[in-house]
Amino acid sequence: MKRAGFSNRWLPILFLIPQLAIIFIFFYWPAAHAIRSSFYLQDPFGFGETFVGLKNYTAMFNSAAYLRSAWFTVIFTVIVTFLSLSIALLLAVKADKVIRGAKTYRTLLMWVYAVAPPVAGVIGLILFDQSWGPIKDFVALFGWDFRLGVDYFDTAFAMVTISVWKQLPVNFIFFLSGLQAIPKSVREAALIDNRSASGRFWDVTFPLLAPTGFFLLIINITYSLFDTFGVIDTVVKGEPGNNPMTLVYKVYVDGFRGNDLGGSSAQSVILMILVLALTIFQFRMVERRIHYT
């Protein structure tokens, strides 16, 4: 292969500088700063700091609130990922079979994608509202006294529902395109080989969707862990109280509401390690991923 060259060796570096500067200013520098401050006790009003070694970390792991939040994060991530993947897959399989009005149907399923997370949160708040939320009124018919922001389970339920709803279109689009990438003749061959529609799905369609599914699994775990901040913030309104929250949201609450910058930094370092592990796992799996073609 021919290499495209630059006549001046500084020119490529010049072109790279804006990108590198952004990465450095908004990623490496704050990350380095967070790692450093996780070893200090910060004065809440910005007057100096004291080196405390690993005390921020030990305090964190001994905190019942932190462990509770970590446990909630795990459950929240598993439930949101599972529900948003399985519901999206179901919708994609059904949408793939629609022949009449397919475009309208697909657009209706996709447009939630354009809703920003905080807006999704607000819509959720309206639907679940204590005094006039239609969902609250609906579940009340079944004797469920839904109390958003007061009852731990009810609040978590609303968070999960809104987060899943927000993530569905992304998964739907990927699953639908994954389905449409399966050669028509392979499906037809299956049609001749197997009379059961569910058998065909599990034996042929599902394995061929596995690469898409794995990619989405990683995307959804990342989403549930980190990108649900907007949704949670809207539901919790920065007033933790008895409310459930994920680790990412706790970093914000402890750091910016509680003014415990050192402890919050220690938490964010743990999250950084988590992201790093997840990334390594993803790359390993991508390398090993079966390529069918």
Partner 1 sequence: MAQVSLNNVRKVYPNGFEAVKPASFRIEDGEFVVLVGPSGCGKSTMLRMIAGLEDISDGALTIGDRVVNDVDPADRDIAMVFQNYALYPHMTVAKNIGYGLKNRKIPAADIAAKVQEAATMLNLTDYLDRKPSQLSGGQRQRVAMGRAIVRDPSLFLFDEPLSNLDAKLRNQMRIEIKALQRRLGVTSVYVTHDQVEAMTMADRIIVMNAGRIEQIGTPAEVYHSPASTFVASFMGAPPMNLLTGRAEAGRVRVGNVMLHQHHEDRDLTVGIRPEDIIPDSHGHLEVEVTLIEELGAHRLLHGQMQGHPLTIHVGKDHPVETGHIRAAIKPNAVSLFDPASGVRL
**Minimum distance between the CB of residue 103 and partner 1, rounded to whole angstroms?**
16
Does 193 engage in binding with partner 1 (CB under 8 A)? yes
Q: Which stretch binds partner 1 (CB under 8 A): 170-178, 196-204, 215-223, 244-252?
A: 196-204
Side-chain half-sphere exposure of 222, counting CA atoms within 13 A? 14
**Minimum distance between the CB of residue 167 and partner 1, rounded to whole angstroms?**
27
Among 13, 23, 189, 285, binds partner 1 (CB under 8 A): 189
Report DSSP letters for 36-56, one per residue. Answer: HHTTEEEPTTSS-EEE-TTHH
Distant-in-sequence, close-in-space partners of 178: CB < 8 Å, separation ≥ 6: 92, 208, 209, 211, 212, 213
Does 293 engage in binding with partner 1 (CB under 8 A)? yes
Does 180 engage in binding with partner 1 (CB under 8 A)? no
Task: Please identify, using beta-carbon distances, which residue of 2 and 184 lies nearer to partner 1.
Answer: 184
Distant-in-sequence, close-in-space partners of 34: CB < 8 Å, separation ≥ 6: 265, 268, 269, 272
Q: Which stretch binds partner 1 (CB under 8 A): 13-21, 147-155, 179-187, 274-282?
A: 179-187
Q: Which stretch binds partner 1 (CB under 8 A): 25-33, 154-162, 180-188, 220-228?
A: 180-188
Does 191 engage in binding with partner 1 (CB under 8 A)? yes
Task: Please identify, using beta-carbon distances, which residue of 116 and 189 lies nearer to partner 1.
Answer: 189
Does 185 engage in binding with partner 1 (CB under 8 A)? yes
Point out which residues pair with 41 in neighbouring strands.
50
And the tokens for 168?
Answer: 């569905």
Does 192 engage in binding with partner 1 (CB under 8 A)? yes
Among 107, 196, 198, 242, binds partner 1 (CB under 8 A): 196
Give the C-alpha separation, 236 to 155, whole Å. 8
Report DSSP letters for 69-130, one per residue. Answer: HHHHHHHHHHHHHHHHHHHHHHHHHHHHH--TTHHHHHHHHHGGGGS-HHHHHHHHHHHH-T
> What are the backbone angles phi and psi of residue 13, rounded to the nearest 5°?
-65, -40
Side-chain half-sphere exposure of 290, counting CA atoms within 13 A? 7
Does 62 engage in binding with partner 1 (CB under 8 A)? no
Does 114 engage in binding with partner 1 (CB under 8 A)? no
User: Dihedral angle at the C-alpha atoms of 95, 97, 102, 105, nearest 10 degrees?
Assistant: -30
Among 208, 219, 245, 269, binds partner 1 (CB under 8 A): 208
**Minimum distance between the CB of residue 195 and partner 1, rounded to whole angstroms?**
4
Among 60, 204, 225, 261, binds partner 1 (CB under 8 A): 204
In contact, 200 and 194? CB cutoff 8 Å: yes
Q: How many residues bind partner 1 (CB under 8 A)?
A: 22
Q: Where are the beta strands (DSSP E) in the chain?
A: 40-42, 49-51
Query: By the criterion CB under 8 A, which residues form the site for partner 1?
Result: 183, 185-186, 188-196, 199, 203-204, 207-208, 210, 290-293
